């Protein structure tokens, strides 16, 4: 008797009853319908409650149906899958709604005029004006902060991974940890106290210094992780060729990890680009265009957004401008992320046979 | 060009752990010496003391003398970087630089040392790849990444990289243990050719390989687990495999042990 004949007669022990492929969708649709019904009948006003009821029904329904048809083990598997999906949706919904709100409210006044004019002659409650001065301020402050923060952070990470031994390395690691936790307003106050000692007026570079303080630990951490990923064998291969250690780091270790390091730096830039508190303290804000980051108050995008809200006495024109500036800021951060991904992919060690 | 190695009373530590103790031996120029012995008996550690790679490991420390043609590698004022230019190394797992092309991998030693003329680079790369029996396989794709080669080709690429800087001695730590029999054969043939120009020391777990490629064989062993590794004996390969003077060597070779 052949094995084929056996499987024809008896159901295989390897194949159990299973739900059709579309069943998760059906269960999801069913639970949404039931949740809406419950919401309407129970007179629940909040749509969030509706969503939560649907999510709970979906998870419970999946378990019940799968347990009945497929057995307990498969049911648990399906519950785990549906929990992941629910969590995913819970995470994505606020994100999508945030992007949607920003885009739909932001595009109203976002045009070339808006990007190329300042608020110099426009009162905060009137329509018109733009964010050119804020873009300039943001670019200069964030750029200078990066010029300071990124090299210091990368060099610190190189020290920690490649050279650091003993007490000094431990204490550097400890201070980096502490710095990671510094609230941005405290970094701002620190620089402010220095400014007060020297009796200086607000200027862009002071903001850059505070931003650099915030940026450094992020860069150190991400660069450290990337350097640790470089296999020790590559370092040894280079050293065994008679290459000095510093050249090995420069020509072998850094090129191997440059993609990841760049990504880390870009993410750190994205983080500080949205900082408001230290800029408010140190750069103060300025409706006029000030191209010089080393003298006089400047604007910046996050600060501009805040001030449009805070100082416009509820004028719609100001709200629109704030949204448009938010959209610009999000776009800026997104472009940075895309650039980082591009560099990471371009510089990634080449594999493939 | 090839140089002679003279080791006397060498002891190596990892931090406070003594890995090998009191090893003395002589390696003749233009010969192949094989190190055999059970895992963990300190073959790699000893090999790495011969080009001062041991001290790259945190806590790595060495006592004793290693003379390279009468110059003590551990003497005062000796630069480990210059030592490694004289004594090259090939590792167990092929480790080409992943960001570099085949050409750049071979040229890496010269380029990274910053001592070369542009015009000679092409010649050196071609000569080294030919020396490693790899030229015919890669001459049409010198600009492709080195990690795209097969394991055996990668290992020969690493050998080409090592001989491109013209060392006097070539150390190989189980260079074939990650390779298939065909690639292994290719590398064994290569070792036979390279010994015309270099002093070669090879660690291997493969008895036949040691018998095939080496002129002299050294047997290492541990007295007990946790004890440092020691050199049991070193002799002509033929004698070690036919009539060793120590019983432990015979036991190990005939597979009664280890
Ligand atoms: N990086 C290291 N740190 C601490 N101990 C090590 C290290 N590498 C090897 N050892 C120890 O040194 C001894 C010899 O190891 P090794 O030289 O690798 O032996 P073999 O190459 O003969 O297998 C072993 O006891 C091992 O545990
Ligand atoms: Mg070993």
- Tell me: the pLDDT tens digits for B87-141? 999 999 999 999 999 999 999 998 887 777 888 899 999 999 999 999 999 999 9
Taking the CA of B48 as reference, the closest ligand is: 1
Confidence band, pLDDT 50/70/90 cuts, at residue A315:
confident
The total of other beta-carbon atoms located within 10 Å of residue B258's CB is: 15
* Shortest distance, CA B107 to any CA of chain A (angstroms): 11
Q: What residue ranges do the domains of chain A occupy?
A: 3-106, 116-346
Go through A80-102 and write b for each residue having 16 or more CB atoms within 10 A of its CB, e for each that does not: eebeebbeeeeeeeeeeeeeeeb
| pLDDT-wise least confident of A55-64, A224-233, B25-34 | A55-64
Nearest-Cα residue of chain A relative to residue B59: A165
Query: In this structure, which residue's CA is closest to atom 27 in ligand 1?
Result: B40
User: Does the Cβ of B227 fall within 6 Å of ligand 1?
Assistant: no
Taking only the tens place, the pLDDT of each residue in B190-215 is 999 999 999 999 999 999 999 999 99
Residue B225 half-sphere exposure toward CB, CA atoms < 13 A: 1
- Whether the pLDDT of residue A51 is over 70: the answer is yes
Percent pLDDT > 70 in chain A is 95
A240 in B contact zone (CB under 8 Å): yes
The residue with tokens 């940890």 is A177
* Phi-psi group of A352: left, alpha or beta (phi > 0 → left; psi -120 to 50 → alpha; rest → beta): left
- B247: Cα separation from own chain's centroid: 27
Bridge partners of B101, per DSSP, are B145
Distance B197 CA to ligand 1 centre (A): 30
Mean pLDDT of B172-182: 90
Identify all chain A residues contacting B85, using CB atoms and an 8 Å cutoff.
241-242
pLDDT of residue B257: 62
A122 in Cβ contact with A189 (< 8 Å): no
Comparing C-alpha atoms, which of A315, A293, A264 is closest to residue A123?
A315
Q: Average pLDDT of chain A?
A: 90
Q: Which residue on chain A is closest to B163 by alpha carbon?
A: A241
Mean pLDDT value across residues A314-340: 91
Query: Residue A237 and residue A252: Cα distance in Å, rounded?
Result: 10
User: Which residue has 């990634």 as its token pair?
Assistant: A348
Please name the fold of domain A116-346.
MetI-like fold (1.10.3720)
pLDDT band with cut points at 50, 70 and 90 for residue A5: very low
Residues A242 and B165 sit within 8 Å (Cβ to Cβ) = yes
Residue B226 CB contacts under 8 Å (≥ 6 apart), including other chains: none
- Report the Cα A117 to chain-centroid distance in Å: 29
Lowest mean pLDDT of B42-46, B170-174, B254-258, name the range.
Answer: B254-258
Cβ A255–B99 below 8 Å, yes or no? yes
Question: Measuring from atom 25 of ligand 1, which residue has the nearest CA?
Answer: B40
Residues in chain A, overall count: 353
H/E element, B82: helix B80-86
pLDDT of residue A214: 96
pLDDT average, residue stretch A286-315: 91
In the numeric block, which tokens belong to residue A184? 């941005």
Through-space distance between the first and last CA atoms of chain B, rounded to whole angstroms: 38
CA triple A68-A70-A73, angle to 5 deg: 100
pLDDT digits (tens, 9 = 90+) for A75-96: 899 899 999 998 999 899 999 9
Residue A351 is predicted with a pLDDT of 57
pLDDT 10s digits, A98-123: 999 999 999 989 999 999 999 988 88
Please indicate whether residue B184, judged by its CB atom, sits closer than 6 Å to ligand 1: no
- Residues in B closer than 8 angstroms to A252, CB to CB, are 97, 99, 112
Residue B245 burial (C-beta neighbours within 10 Å; 0-12, 13-18, 19+): exposed
Residues of chain B with pLDDT > 70, as a percent, come to: 99
pLDDT of residue A6: 45
Nearest CA to ligand 1 atom 5: B14
pTM exceeding the 0.90 threshold for the entire prediction: no
Output the CA B195–ligand 1 centroid distance in Å: 28
Give distance in angstroms: CA of B170 to centre of ligand 1: 21
- Residue of B245, B250, B215 lying closest to B233 (CA atoms): B245
Task: Tell me if B99 and A247 make a contact (CB, 8 A cut-off).
Answer: no
Q: How high is the pLDDT of residue A123?
A: 85
Nearest chain A CA: its distance from B149 CA (Å): 6
Q: Which helix (H) or strand (E) segment is A310 a member of?
A: helix A301-310
Q: For ligand 1, is residue B43 a contact (CB within 6 Å)?
A: yes
Q: Quick one: average pLDDT of B62-75?
A: 94
Report the pLDDT value the prediction gives residue A7, as an integer from 0 to 100.
44
Place of tokens 């994100």: A95
Mean pLDDT, rounded, for B55-77: 93
Answer whether A240 sits within 8 Å of B150, measured CB to CB: no
Residue B183 or residue B74, greater confidence: B74
- The pLDDT tens digits of the residues spanning A157-175 come to 999 999 988 899 999 999 9
Pocket test for ligand 1, best of B13, B19, B226 (most atoms within 8 A of CB): B19
**What tens digit of pLDDT does each residue of A336-350 get?**
889 888 888 887 776
Residue B204 Cβ < 6 Å to ligand 1: no
B249 vs A224, B19, B213, CA distance in Å? 47, 20, 19
What are the tens digits of pLDDT across the range A127-144? 888 999 999 999 999 999
A238-277 residue pLDDT tens: 999 999 999 999 999 999 999 899 999 999 999 999 999 9
Asked if this assembly's ipTM is beyond 0.90, the reply is yes
């Amino acid at each position: 008797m052949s094995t084929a004949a056996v499987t024809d007669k008896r159901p295989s022990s390897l194949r159990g009853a299973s739900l059709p492929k579309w069943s998760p969708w059906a269960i999801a649709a069913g639970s949404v319908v039931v949740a809406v019904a419950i919401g309407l009948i129970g007179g629940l006003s909040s749509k969030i409650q509706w969503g939560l009821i649907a999510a709970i029904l979906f998870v419970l329904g999946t378990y019940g149906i799968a347990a009945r048809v497929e057995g307990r083990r498969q049911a648990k598997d399906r519950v785990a899958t549906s929990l992941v999906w629910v969590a995913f949706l819970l995470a994505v919904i606020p994100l999508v709604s945030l992007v949607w709100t920003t885009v739909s409210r932001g595009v109203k006044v976002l045009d070339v005029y808006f990007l190329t004019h300042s608020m110099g002659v426009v009162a905060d409650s009137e329509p018109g004006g733009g964010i050119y001065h804020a873009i300039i301020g943001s670019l200069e402050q964030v750029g200078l902060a990066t010029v300071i923060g990124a090299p210091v952070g990368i060099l610190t990470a190189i020290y920690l991974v490649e050279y650091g031994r003993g007490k000094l390395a431990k204490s550097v690691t400890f201070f980096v940890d502490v710095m990671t936790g510094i609230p941005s307003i405290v970094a701002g106050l620190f620089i402010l106290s220095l400014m007060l000692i020297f009796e200086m007026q607000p200027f862009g570079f002071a903001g850059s210094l505070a931003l650099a303080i915030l940026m450094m630990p992020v860069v150190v951490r991400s660069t450290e992780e990337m350097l640790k990923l470089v296999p020790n064998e590559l370092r040894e291969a280079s050293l065994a060729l008679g290459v000095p250690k510093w050249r090995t780091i420069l020509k072998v270790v850094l090129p191997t990890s440059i993609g990841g390091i760049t990504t880390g730096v870009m993410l750190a830039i994205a983080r500080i680009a949205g900082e408001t508190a230290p800029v408010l303290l140190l750069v103060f804000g300025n409706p006029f265009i000030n191209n010089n980051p080393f003298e006089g108050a400047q604007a910046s995008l996050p600060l501009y957004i805040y001030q449009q809200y805070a100082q416009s006495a509820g004028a719609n024109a100001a709200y629109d401008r704030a949204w448009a500036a938010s959209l610009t800021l999000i776009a800026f951060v997104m472009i940075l992320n895309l650039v980082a991904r591009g560099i990471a992919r371009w510089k990634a060690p080449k594999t493939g046979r | 060009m090839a140089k002679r190695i003279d080791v006397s009373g060498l002891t190596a530590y990892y931090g406070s752990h003594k890995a090998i103790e009191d090893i003395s031996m002589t390696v003749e120029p233009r010969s192949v010496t094989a190190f055999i012995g059970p895992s963990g008996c300190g073959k790699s550690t000893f090999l790495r003391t011969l080009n001062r790679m041991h001290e790259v490991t945190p806590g790595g420390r060495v006592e004793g003398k290693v003379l390279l043609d009468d110059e003590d590698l551990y003497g005062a004022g000796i630069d480990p970087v210059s030592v490694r230019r004289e004594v090259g190394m090939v590792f167990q797992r092929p480790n080409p630089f992943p960001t570099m092309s085949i050409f750049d991998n071979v040229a890496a030693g010269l380029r990274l040392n910053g001592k070369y003329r542009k015009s000679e680079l092409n010649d050196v790369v071609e000569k080294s790849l030919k020396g490693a029996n790899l030229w015919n396989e890669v001459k049409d794709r010198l600009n492709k990444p080195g990690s795209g080669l097969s394991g055996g080709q990668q290992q020969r690429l690493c050998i080409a990289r090592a001989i491109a800087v013209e060392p006097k001695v070539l150390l190989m730590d189980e260079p074939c243990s990650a390779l298939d029999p065909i690639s292994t054969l290719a590398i064994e043939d290569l070792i036979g050719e390279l010994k015309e120009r270099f002093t070669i020391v090879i660690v291997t777990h493969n008895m036949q390989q040691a018998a095939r490629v080496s002129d002299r064989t050294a047997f290492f062993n541990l007295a007990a687990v946790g004890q440092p590794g020691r050199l049991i004996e070193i002799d002509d390969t033929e004698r070690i495999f036919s009539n060793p003077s120590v019983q432990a060597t015979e036991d190990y070779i005939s597979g009664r042990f280890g």
